[in-house]
Amino acid sequence: MHDGHRTMNTDNDCTATLLSDADVIAAMREIPGYLDISPADFREVFQVAYVHALKRVRDSIRAADIMTRPAHCVGSDLDLIQAATLLAERGFSGAPVTDAAGRVVGVVSEKDFLAGMGVDRPIGFMDIIAHCLNHRGCMAVSLRNRKVSDIMTAPPLTAGVEATLGEISALFVDRHINRLPIVDAEGRPLGIVTRTNLVQSYCFTGQGVQS
Protein backbone atom coordinates (compact mmCIF):
# COMPACT_ATOMS: atom_id res chain seq x y z
CA MET A 1 0.00 0.00 0.00
CA HIS A 2 1.29 3.42 -0.89
CA ASP A 3 -0.57 4.97 2.00
CA GLY A 4 1.14 4.24 5.27
CA HIS A 5 -1.72 5.69 7.30
CA ARG A 6 -4.29 3.38 5.85
CA THR A 7 -6.10 1.83 8.78
CA MET A 8 -8.67 -0.23 6.95
CA ASN A 9 -7.81 -3.90 6.81
CA THR A 10 -8.33 -6.03 3.80
CA ASP A 11 -11.53 -8.06 3.88
CA ASN A 12 -9.85 -11.19 5.13
CA ASP A 13 -7.97 -9.51 7.96
CA CYS A 14 -11.15 -7.74 8.95
CA THR A 15 -13.29 -10.85 9.19
CA ALA A 16 -10.61 -12.96 10.81
CA THR A 17 -10.89 -10.77 13.87
CA LEU A 18 -14.67 -10.66 13.70
CA LEU A 19 -15.26 -14.26 14.65
CA SER A 20 -13.32 -16.36 17.12
CA ASP A 21 -13.45 -20.09 17.66
CA ALA A 22 -15.07 -19.35 21.02
CA ASP A 23 -17.86 -17.41 19.27
CA VAL A 24 -18.53 -20.29 16.93
CA ILE A 25 -18.55 -22.82 19.75
CA ALA A 26 -20.90 -20.62 21.78
CA ALA A 27 -23.26 -20.41 18.80
CA MET A 28 -23.08 -24.15 18.25
CA ARG A 29 -24.03 -24.66 21.88
CA GLU A 30 -27.01 -22.33 21.58
CA ILE A 31 -28.35 -23.90 18.41
CA PRO A 32 -30.05 -27.14 19.37
CA GLY A 33 -29.11 -30.30 17.53
CA TYR A 34 -25.85 -31.80 16.37
CA LEU A 35 -24.17 -29.61 13.79
CA ASP A 36 -22.08 -31.70 11.48
CA ILE A 37 -19.29 -29.17 11.02
CA SER A 38 -16.09 -28.35 12.86
CA PRO A 39 -15.73 -24.83 14.28
CA ALA A 40 -12.73 -24.23 12.03
CA ASP A 41 -14.68 -25.24 8.93
CA PHE A 42 -17.55 -23.00 9.93
CA ARG A 43 -15.19 -20.06 10.38
CA GLU A 44 -13.73 -20.69 6.97
CA VAL A 45 -17.18 -20.81 5.38
CA PHE A 46 -18.17 -17.64 7.24
CA GLN A 47 -15.05 -15.77 6.23
CA VAL A 48 -15.42 -16.54 2.55
CA ALA A 49 -19.17 -15.87 2.66
CA TYR A 50 -18.54 -12.54 4.41
CA VAL A 51 -16.24 -11.40 1.63
CA HIS A 52 -18.98 -12.28 -0.86
CA ALA A 53 -21.54 -10.39 1.22
CA LEU A 54 -19.32 -7.30 1.38
CA LYS A 55 -18.82 -7.40 -2.35
CA ARG A 56 -22.56 -7.80 -2.90
CA VAL A 57 -23.32 -4.81 -0.68
CA ARG A 58 -20.60 -2.71 -2.28
CA ASP A 59 -21.89 -3.56 -5.71
CA SER A 60 -25.53 -2.99 -4.85
CA ILE A 61 -25.18 0.41 -3.18
CA ARG A 62 -24.69 3.12 -5.77
CA ALA A 63 -23.74 6.77 -5.78
CA ALA A 64 -27.40 7.76 -6.17
CA ASP A 65 -28.21 5.97 -2.89
CA ILE A 66 -25.67 7.76 -0.73
CA MET A 67 -24.95 11.15 -2.31
CA THR A 68 -25.97 14.48 -0.85
CA ARG A 69 -28.12 16.44 -3.26
CA PRO A 70 -28.08 18.96 -4.61
CA ALA A 71 -24.34 19.52 -4.65
CA HIS A 72 -23.47 23.04 -3.55
CA CYS A 73 -21.10 24.31 -6.19
CA VAL A 74 -19.08 27.48 -6.65
CA GLY A 75 -18.61 29.20 -10.00
CA SER A 76 -15.16 29.10 -11.55
CA ASP A 77 -15.19 32.89 -11.99
CA LEU A 78 -16.03 33.55 -8.36
CA ASP A 79 -13.62 35.72 -6.43
CA LEU A 80 -11.70 33.70 -3.84
CA ILE A 81 -12.84 35.94 -0.97
CA GLN A 82 -16.45 35.31 -1.90
CA ALA A 83 -15.81 31.63 -2.42
CA ALA A 84 -14.14 31.30 0.97
CA THR A 85 -17.01 33.21 2.61
CA LEU A 86 -19.57 30.97 0.92
CA LEU A 87 -17.82 27.78 2.00
CA ALA A 88 -17.36 29.11 5.52
CA GLU A 89 -21.05 30.02 5.81
CA ARG A 90 -22.12 26.55 4.81
CA GLY A 91 -19.45 24.82 6.83
CA PHE A 92 -17.96 23.10 3.79
CA SER A 93 -14.28 22.31 3.44
CA GLY A 94 -14.60 22.12 -0.32
CA ALA A 95 -16.99 22.14 -3.25
CA PRO A 96 -17.27 21.28 -6.93
CA VAL A 97 -16.53 24.14 -9.31
CA THR A 98 -18.85 24.79 -12.26
CA ASP A 99 -18.28 26.80 -15.43
CA ALA A 100 -20.75 29.20 -17.04
CA ALA A 101 -22.55 26.29 -18.71
CA GLY A 102 -23.06 24.62 -15.32
CA ARG A 103 -20.64 21.76 -15.94
CA VAL A 104 -18.28 20.57 -13.21
CA VAL A 105 -14.80 21.68 -14.28
CA GLY A 106 -12.92 21.28 -11.02
CA VAL A 107 -13.00 20.86 -7.28
CA VAL A 108 -11.82 23.42 -4.79
CA SER A 109 -10.92 22.53 -1.23
CA GLU A 110 -8.92 23.72 1.76
CA LYS A 111 -5.95 21.98 0.21
CA ASP A 112 -6.21 24.18 -2.90
CA PHE A 113 -6.48 27.35 -0.82
CA LEU A 114 -3.38 26.37 1.10
CA ALA A 115 -1.54 25.59 -2.11
CA GLY A 116 -2.69 28.97 -3.46
CA MET A 117 -1.17 30.62 -0.42
CA GLY A 118 2.15 29.13 -1.39
CA VAL A 119 2.10 26.35 1.16
CA ASP A 120 3.32 23.20 -0.45
CA ARG A 121 3.55 20.92 2.54
CA PRO A 122 0.54 19.62 4.47
CA ILE A 123 -0.19 22.13 7.25
CA GLY A 124 -2.91 22.52 9.80
CA PHE A 125 -4.84 25.31 11.45
CA MET A 126 -2.16 25.67 14.15
CA ASP A 127 0.52 26.29 11.52
CA ILE A 128 -1.50 29.19 10.21
CA ILE A 129 -2.02 30.63 13.71
CA ALA A 130 1.69 30.36 14.37
CA HIS A 131 2.53 32.03 11.08
CA CYS A 132 0.09 34.90 11.65
CA LEU A 133 1.43 35.54 15.15
CA ASN A 134 5.04 35.48 13.98
CA HIS A 135 4.71 37.53 10.81
CA ARG A 136 2.20 40.28 11.66
CA GLY A 137 0.13 39.47 8.67
CA CYS A 138 -1.95 36.83 7.19
CA MET A 139 -0.67 34.25 4.77
CA ALA A 140 -3.97 34.40 2.93
CA VAL A 141 -3.33 37.92 1.63
CA SER A 142 -1.81 36.38 -1.47
CA LEU A 143 -5.23 35.04 -2.37
CA ARG A 144 -6.67 38.50 -2.98
CA ASN A 145 -7.87 39.28 -6.48
CA ARG A 146 -7.72 35.71 -7.56
CA LYS A 147 -10.51 33.52 -8.86
CA VAL A 148 -11.59 30.01 -8.01
CA SER A 149 -10.36 28.80 -11.39
CA ASP A 150 -6.84 29.94 -10.42
CA ILE A 151 -6.49 27.48 -7.57
CA MET A 152 -8.98 24.68 -8.20
CA THR A 153 -7.95 21.11 -8.86
CA ALA A 154 -8.79 20.39 -12.49
CA PRO A 155 -9.79 18.32 -14.27
CA PRO A 156 -11.93 16.98 -11.47
CA LEU A 157 -12.51 13.36 -10.56
CA THR A 158 -16.22 12.72 -11.01
CA ALA A 159 -18.51 9.72 -11.20
CA GLY A 160 -21.99 8.88 -12.47
CA VAL A 161 -25.00 7.95 -10.33
CA GLU A 162 -24.41 4.30 -11.17
CA ALA A 163 -20.94 4.18 -9.57
CA THR A 164 -20.92 1.51 -6.84
CA LEU A 165 -19.93 1.97 -3.24
CA GLY A 166 -16.90 -0.22 -3.89
CA GLU A 167 -15.72 1.91 -6.83
CA ILE A 168 -16.26 5.14 -4.93
CA SER A 169 -14.43 3.85 -1.84
CA ALA A 170 -11.52 2.76 -4.02
CA LEU A 171 -11.34 6.26 -5.57
CA PHE A 172 -11.26 7.88 -2.13
CA VAL A 173 -8.44 5.63 -1.00
CA ASP A 174 -6.38 5.49 -4.18
CA ARG A 175 -6.71 9.15 -5.20
CA HIS A 176 -6.69 10.70 -1.72
CA ILE A 177 -9.88 12.66 -2.26
CA ASN A 178 -12.44 13.73 0.31
CA ARG A 179 -15.37 14.47 -1.98
CA LEU A 180 -16.56 13.21 -5.31
CA PRO A 181 -18.97 15.19 -7.49
CA ILE A 182 -21.64 12.99 -9.08
CA VAL A 183 -22.48 14.24 -12.54
CA ASP A 184 -24.84 13.48 -15.41
CA ALA A 185 -23.72 12.58 -18.93
CA GLU A 186 -23.10 16.27 -19.75
CA GLY A 187 -21.00 16.79 -16.64
CA ARG A 188 -23.66 18.76 -14.75
CA PRO A 189 -23.68 18.18 -11.00
CA LEU A 190 -26.38 15.91 -9.57
CA GLY A 191 -24.96 15.51 -6.10
CA ILE A 192 -21.82 14.94 -4.14
CA VAL A 193 -20.45 11.99 -2.20
CA THR A 194 -18.44 13.12 0.80
CA ARG A 195 -16.53 11.18 3.40
CA THR A 196 -19.53 11.59 5.68
CA ASN A 197 -21.78 9.99 3.06
CA LEU A 198 -19.34 7.11 2.75
CA VAL A 199 -19.24 6.50 6.48
CA GLN A 200 -23.04 6.69 6.69
CA SER A 201 -23.34 4.18 3.86
CA TYR A 202 -21.70 1.55 6.03
CA CYS A 203 -24.77 1.65 8.25
CA PHE A 204 -26.87 0.71 5.25
CA THR A 205 -28.26 -2.71 5.21
CA GLY A 206 -30.48 -4.04 2.47
CA GLN A 207 -33.61 -2.28 3.69
CA GLY A 208 -31.97 1.14 3.94
CA VAL A 209 -31.08 1.26 0.28
CA GLN A 210 -34.48 1.02 -1.33
CA SER A 211 -35.94 4.08 0.32
Partner 1 sequence: MNYFEKMRGSGPSPPGVGAGEVFWSWLGSFLGISAVALLHAGLFEPRDLSLLIGSFGASAVLLYGAVRSPLAQPRNLMGGHVLSALIGVTAHQLLGSTPWLAAAVAVSLAIAIMHLTRTLHPPGGATALIAVIGGDSVHQLGYLYVLVPAALGALVMLVIALLVNNIPKTRKYPEFWF
Interacting residue ranges for partner 1, rule: CB under 8 A: 21, 25, 28-29, 32-40, 43
Shortest distance, position 161 Cβ to partner 1, whole Å: 40
Of 39 and 191, the one with the shorter C-beta distance to partner 1 is: 39
Q: Check if the beta carbon of residue 122 is closer than 8 Å to that of residue 196.
A: no
Of 34 and 125, the one with the shorter C-beta distance to partner 1 is: 34
Q: Check if the beta carbon of residue 108 is closer than 8 Å to that of residue 147.
A: no
Q: Check if the beta carbon of residue 37 is closer than 8 Å to that of residue 167.
A: no
Of 37 and 48, the one with the shorter C-beta distance to partner 1 is: 37
Q: In whole angstroms, what is the distance from residue 2 CA to residue 9 CA?
A: 14
Burial of 79 (C-beta count, 10 Å sphere; 0-12/13-18/19+): middle
Shortest distance, position 38 Cβ to partner 1, whole Å: 6
Of 25 and 130, the one with the shorter C-beta distance to partner 1 is: 25
Shortest distance, position 41 Cβ to partner 1, whole Å: 8
Q: Check if the beta carbon of residue 109 is closer than 8 Å to that of residue 93.
A: yes
Shortest distance, position 17 Cβ to partner 1, whole Å: 16
